[in-house]
Amino acid sequence: MQKPKAVWLTEGGLKGYIAVNNLSKNFSDEELEKCGRDVLAVAGVNSYHKFLPMLKKLNVHTVTIAYDMDMLTNDQVAANYSELVNMLNANGYRVILAGWDPDAAKGIDDALVANVPIEFTAY
């Protein structure tokens, strides 16, 4: 917990569990050092603010956001996504946005299981 680390942030407990069990199958150790080996899953897209104390406690420096790709079509998800990015930036976190083909997978769990290419954008 002393070493600064990166974590993934997604929505849904089961999704987080599936994702964390598939990260090492899809990414190299070097990629995992940059994007994270651990996954924090929020209960819903609007409950992300509850995790700020946990990020601080875990000595997180980078958050890789992997919300469902319906953020491209759902205004509520998009608004919460934007607020999350702004909150993380305002608190000094490095933010990486994870995205993939929304026709190939809705969530990060599906994308990892199906080996859908994940693209990263530093924000």
Is pTM beyond 0.85? Reply is yes
pLDDT at site 1: 53
How many DSSP H helices and E strands does the chain contain? 6, 5
Q: Which residues pair with 39 in a beta bridge?
A: 8
Give the start-to-end residue ranges of the domains of the chain.
5-122
Distances (CA, A) of 31 to 9, 26, 35: 16, 9, 6
Top mean-pLDDT range of 9-13, 50-54, 93-97: 93-97
Domain at 5-122, CATH class: alpha beta
